[in-house]
Amino acid sequence: MLVPFGNIAWRVALAEATTAAMGCGLLAFMVSRGSSMLIEGIDELKGMTGKWERAICLACGVVAGVSLGLGSSMWNESVVINRISLFGVPWLMVVLVFLMRWMYAPHQRRYLYAAMFFLRRLPPPSTKP
C-alpha cells in the first residue's frame, strides 16, 4: 500500500490528482522545450542571449502547465465531477514527449519505439455514463 492512511476513495482521488499533476508537468516540459526549438528556428531571435531564452521558455512552460491544471475540464474531472479516470493523461503526455524527441532527431528511432510502447500501455477509454 503506497498511502497507508485514509479510505479507498480518498486514496483514489489522491492518485488521480497526482497523475493529473504529472500530466501538467509533462505538458509544461514539452512547451518549454518546444518554444526553445521554435526560438532556434527563427532567424531574428537567434542572437538572443541564453538568459532571456531560458526565461521565455520557462514562462511559456509554466503558463501552459498551470493553464491545463486549472482549466475547467481538467479541474472538473479530477476534483469536482470525477466522471472519467485521469490515469491516462500522463501516459498520453509521455507518448507525446517521446514523439517530440523523435521529431527533433528522426534518425534515432528508439524514441519512436518508446512512444509506441507507451501508446500501447494507455488505459482504455472510460465507459462510465
Residue 78 lies in a domain: yes
What's residue 107's pLDDT? 92
Residue 47 lies in a domain: yes
Which of the two residues, 129 and 10, has the higher pLDDT score? 10
CA 2 – CA 86 distance, rounded (Å): 18
pTM to 2 decimals?
0.73
Domain that holds residue 63: 8-120
Residue 128 lies in a domain: no
Residue 1 lies in a domain: no
Total of domains in the chain:
1
Residue 129 lies in a domain: no
CA 111 – CA 70 distance, rounded (Å): 30
Each residue's pLDDT tens digit, 79-125: 666 555 666 777 788 888 899 889 888 899 999 999 888 887 666 66
Which of the two residues, 14 and 63, has the higher pLDDT score? 63
Residue 80 lies in a domain: yes
CA 26 – CA 115 distance, rounded (Å): 14
Residue 128 to residues 8, 14, 55, 82, 84, Cα–Cα distance (Å): 19, 20, 42, 10, 7
Residue 125 lies in a domain: no
